[in-house]
Structure 1
Amino acid sequence: MTDPSAHDRNPDQAPSAALSRRMLIRAAGLGAVAATANAALAQTAASPVAPPTTITTPPRDFSRRGAPTTYFWDPDVIAVDPSFNGLAQPNAAIQRIWTGGLWVEGPAWNAQGQYLVWSDIPRNRQMRWIEDDGHVSVFRSPSGNSNGNSFDFQGRQLSCEHLNRRVVRYELDGSATVLADSFEGKKLNSPNDIAAHPDGSYWFTDPPYGGQLYEGAPDAPGGPSNANGKINPRLGQLPGIGFAKRELPTNTYRLDPSGRLDLVVPESQVPDPNGLCFSPDFKKLYIASTGKGPGDTGPGGKGDIHVFDVGADNKLSNGKRFSDCMIDGINCGPDGLRCDVEGNLWASSNAGRNVGYSGVNVFNPAGKLIGRIRLPEVCGNITFGGPKRNRLFMAASQSIYALYLGTQGAGPG
């Protein structure tokens, strides 16, 4: 028999005390599933109560109708080392605050406006989530198939555009400035991520990931990502798009306040550089080397994270591998990077089909894994935000997830 009020009930409203027989049977079935979940929770400490997680069968439901997960430690927030206990918030659960993207990246927090902006790259748009009521709307369209976004010390938005192969800054008066689109007379590949420095410079990576149909535009016929010329990169594009060819190695650059663009990390040191961030004191620079990109003729990215010392003259030295991002024999491919105020590095994880390993990995300054956050989707980028900057926002494939923490992110960004 159909409940006449079912179509009108608010899904967030507490259920009435009177339960139908069908609801009781359903609840009993869910209890049976929870009771058998312990075996699937081999990656976590044994517990008399086993709330659903990303690795249970059926998996955890992140919607508002899902079962509770706050049992003083969300089951998908894992302390690998006791030092992580002071960074996580034990009575906070992972929340999915939005879904519906095609491939989302580049979350960035605007402290003045109290909103989160991110890129939905294939749809060529930027989205915005507002803190006070959780409203989500299209923020900027078209966006040049933007990927990474950030905010500088003056509160201006910085965006890396795949399609236009450039870095832009959105000024406080509403205008836009092209910061960089070429190096030594050659067009950039597809700027990916950017970080502001207190000296007024911007540091950004330039891998080739935008040289594909899904996230930008392939090279013109004969270019590395369109060598046989069978793809027409001009289809569906505005005039002027589809004529560029990849001309540069995959490098990391520093844009001086004077406008001079300097190569700071060549491809030979960090191939296919992706996410990057500074330590809180700006004395270290972290760069993720991700997988092989379109048009790569060599081995491509290494699937690891590198760290460099930053000198007073902005010269980098002592480059070394910070982490191979291997956990239990699985490569947790890094992408977006952010540091907290204690100097710990938070890195997104794309482990492909290895359920339970995608999400976020947390390393202490010595490179030791101390914590993990498991998500049901591969995670591309992350940022800290919220009024107290104690909330981690995670752009994971089609969705945005959020988790309150016991620490703060090192700003801005």
Structure 2
Amino acid sequence: MSQSSFGRGLTRRQSLSAIGLGSAALVVGAAHAQDVAAPAEPYSTVTDPRRSFGPDAEPNVYFWDPDVIAVDDAFNGLAQPNAPIKRLWTGALWAEGPAWNSVGKFLVWSDIPSNHQLRWLEDDGHVSVFRAPSNNSNGNSFDRQGRQLTCEHLTRRVVRYELDGSVTILADRFEGQRFNSPNDVVEHEDGSIWFTDPPYGGQLYEGAPDAAGGPSNPDGLIDNTLGQPPEIGEAVREMGHGVYRIGTDGTVTRMIEEAQVQNPNGLCLSPDGSRLYVASTGKGPGDTGEGGQGEVFAFDIAADGTASNGTVFTDCMVDGVKCGPDGLRCDVYGNLWASSNAGRAVGYSGVTCWSPEGALLGRIRLPEVCGNVCFGGPKRNILFMAASQSLYAVPTATQGAGPA
């Protein structure tokens, strides 16, 4: 019997009828595919009995991990059949911004409320505090020179950690106004740096509210100076949402306006840099507009860096469930991997994978809401998933595009 399908004996029509509903148990005959019994009805939420993902968990007894779910046959060539999802670590308050350092062979990610960054070492799985305080950092990535790029909620800026250990402020204002709370960041192959600026850091848990009278603290009832450096206390939200580009000369340009994408969150570039994907998530602190609708937008990027032709790439609906996107990454084939926040729809949080045309290919089911993803590992084929309190990983049969 062929192992090329997650359905393990299902026809394409049968597989599509089970989209998003989990893995089916099969009774395998001794010799031939025609001896395989009809699959049991798959579960719609979580594996039964509930599995543990931790280091002391029982071994995964399935050839295909039951929480790696193919929706389209094309996903079978992207997922690795004999590779289990593993929880590498747990203990965060809200894990975000994973990025892979190829030279050091480690993963760095943010625990925003705890105000530090963490590091997972590939050689022995050791986890330690990498940077504290982190200024409530959110998104991280590494540029093509191996320098870490970081978005900081608290200081409302984007920074670069240089190879000599110094820190460069890449952007903290646009046309004289402070940013809201830069969220995610990525380098284009032309050397420019793109980042999103929603207002999510304007709250106690993930940064600091506005000073009295600001949109996220209009009545001044919250003392935003408590526990913060003195210079933080007078900051207020000064402008709307946006997506920005930092040119190689340091010029900061707003490329996408709030009217085009509300609450821009995660972002990534296609492998050739010709397309920019932006996740649009829900209302943030101080927002008065409608707010993002949990969609992913796609924009064409011209040679001069201009973003145009913005369209909804996917509404992130799966089986009638909104799998709200956050962090985004492309693989080398141009498929988009998006973290999924399905709220209380247990079994739909994790990761969704979409073709370059916007068709759902498959998804990865996690027991926690997933905030962000990246590809890493020595071969850049491991999908790391920063999910609520934990860090997960699963090997794939593809590679991430560009530096993590």
SS at match of 2:230: coil
**Cα separation, 2, equivalents of 1:343 and 1:70:** 31
Equivalent residue number for residue 340 of structure 1: 331
Distance in 1 (alpha carbons) for counterparts of 2:69 and 2:143: 32
* Residues 260-409 of structure 1: pairs in structure 2 closer than 5 A: 260-409=251-400
RMSD: 1.7
Quote the Cα distance in structure 2 between the aligned partners of 1:332 and 1:160: 24
Structure 1, unaligned runs of 5 or more: 1-39
- What aligned pairs does 1:239-278 form with structure 2 within 5 A after superposition? 239-278=230-269
Which runs of structure 2 are paired with 1:162-241 in the superposition (5 Å)? Answer: 162-241=153-232
Give the CA deviation at 1:70: 4.3
CA separation in 1, counterparts of 2:20 and 2:73?
18
Matched, 1:64 2:48: no
Instruction: Find the partner of 2:401 among 376, 392, 410.
Output: 410
Give distance in 1, aligned partners of 2:314 and 2:217.
33
Q: Percent identity?
A: 68
The alignment partner of 1:84 has SS state of helix
2:26 matches 1:48? yes
Task: Tell me the distance in 2 between the aligned counterparts of 1:273 and 1:234.
Answer: 27
Select the residue among 77, 98, 106 that pairs with 2:97: 106
What whole-Å deviation, never above 9, does each CA across 1:97-127 have from its counterpart, x for those lacking one?
0000000100000001100000010010000
State the partner residue of 1:78. 69
- Partner Cα distance (1:44, 1:123) in 2: 34
Deviation of residue 58 (structure 1)?
4.8
CA distance in 2, matches of 1:262, 1:41: 42
Q: Distance in 2 between matches of 1:125 and 1:229?
A: 27
User: Take 2:268 and 2:362, find their aligned partners in 1: how far apart are those partners?
Assistant: 19
User: What is the aligned partner in structure 2 of residue 143 from structure 1?
Assistant: 134
Cα-to-partner distance string for 1:28-60 (whole Å, 9 max, x where unaligned): xxxxxxxxxxxx998135323799996145521
- Deviation string 1:263-314 (CA, Å, 9 cap, x unpaired) is 1010001000000000000010000001110100011112100001111111
Alpha-carbon shift at residue 411 of structure 1 (Å): 1.7
Asked if 2 retains the 8 angstrom alpha-carbon contact of 1:291 and 1:301, the reply is yes
1:7 aligned residue: none
The residue type equivalent to 1:362 in the other structure is: C
For 2:98, what is the secondary structure of its paired residue?
strand
TM-score in terms of structure 2 length:
0.90
How many angstroms apart in 1 are the aligned matches of 2:206 and 2:68? Answer: 31
Tell me by how many angstroms 1:242 deviates: 2.1
Instruction: Name the CA shift for 1:70/1:392 in 2 (closer, same or farther; >3 Å).
Output: farther
Deviation at 1:78, TM superposition (A): 0.4
Distance in 2 (CA, whole Å) between partners of 1:409 and 1:130 is: 19
Pairing 1:16-55 to 2, within 5 Å after superposition: 43-48=21-26, 55=46
CA contact (8 A) 2:160 2:169 kept: yes
Cα 1:52–1:393, aligned 2, differ >3 Å: closer, same or farther?
A: farther
Q: Give the Cα–Cα distance (whole angstroms) in 1 for the partners of residues 105 and 99 of structure 2.
A: 11
Structure 2: distance between partners of 1:66 and 1:353: 25
Determine which structure has more spread, i.e. the larger CA radius of gyration: 1
Please say if residues 54 and 76 of structure 1, whose CA atoms lie closer than 8 Å, have aligned partners that are also in contact. no
Look up the SS of the partner of 1:85 in the other structure: helix
* Alignment-mate amino acid for residue 341 of structure 1: V
Mind listing any 5+ residue stretches in structure 2 that lack a counterpart? 1-17, 28-39
Amino acid at match of 1:365: P
Distance in 1, Cα, partners of 2:314 & 2:131? 36
TM-score by length of 1: 0.88
